[in-house]
Amino acid sequence: MIKIYHNPRCTKSRQGLQALESSGEQFEIIKYLDTIPTKEELKKVLKSLNMPAELLVRKNEAIWKENFRGKELSEDEIIEAMIKYPKLIERPIVIKGNKAVIGRPTEKIHALLKQ
């Protein structure tokens, strides 16, 4: 099953959702601001993305700048920050099987669906 971690208020996330809708594939929408991922779920997503937690953080968010910028944080501390402040999570994230992409640009989603 394909999943999209989606924020309806985000233009890029809505474009990612549109790409999935037009693909004709079945998928599940996870509104991650309402249903915050657990630590285990985020670790699984990061493994599927094949990236460290720091690369999944939206560093231009005020929450990051005010609370975390310039600090030495462990992988677990960054994951905990994203759970406490889910707005920090980059979006959209599309997962297919054990592979995932951050869906910007939407071509990344199309490439994932072809795999």
Give the model confidence (pLDDT) of 13-25 as tens digits.
Answer: 999 999 999 999 9
Residue span of the structural domain in which 92 resides: 2-114
User: What percentage of the chain exceeds 70 in pLDDT?
Assistant: 100
Which residue, chain included where needed, has tokens 């997962």? Answer: 95
Domain count, the chain: 1
Q: How high is the pLDDT of residue 11?
A: 96
Mean pLDDT to the nearest integer, 77-103? 97
Q: How high is the pLDDT of residue 39?
A: 97
Task: Look up the CATH number of the domain holding residue 97.
Answer: 3.40.30.10
Strand locations in 37-105, DSSP E?
93-96, 99-102
Distance CA 20, CA 66 (A): 35
Interhelix angle for 39-49 vs 75-84, to 10°? 120
Mean pLDDT to the nearest integer, 38-64? 97
Catalytic residue numbers?
A: 10
Are 36 and 83 in contact by the 8 Å Cβ rule? The answer is yes
Q: How high is the pLDDT of residue 4?
A: 98
Over the chain, what is the mean pLDDT? 97
> pLDDT tens across 62-72, in order?
999 999 999 99
Mean pLDDT to the nearest integer, 34-47? 97
User: What percentage of the chain exceeds 90 in pLDDT?
Assistant: 98
Distance CA 35, CA 42 (A): 12
Q: How high is the pLDDT of residue 65?
A: 97
Mean pLDDT to the nearest integer, 40-57? 97
Among the listed residues 92, 87, 110, the one whose alpha carbon sits nearest the alpha carbon of residue 17: 92
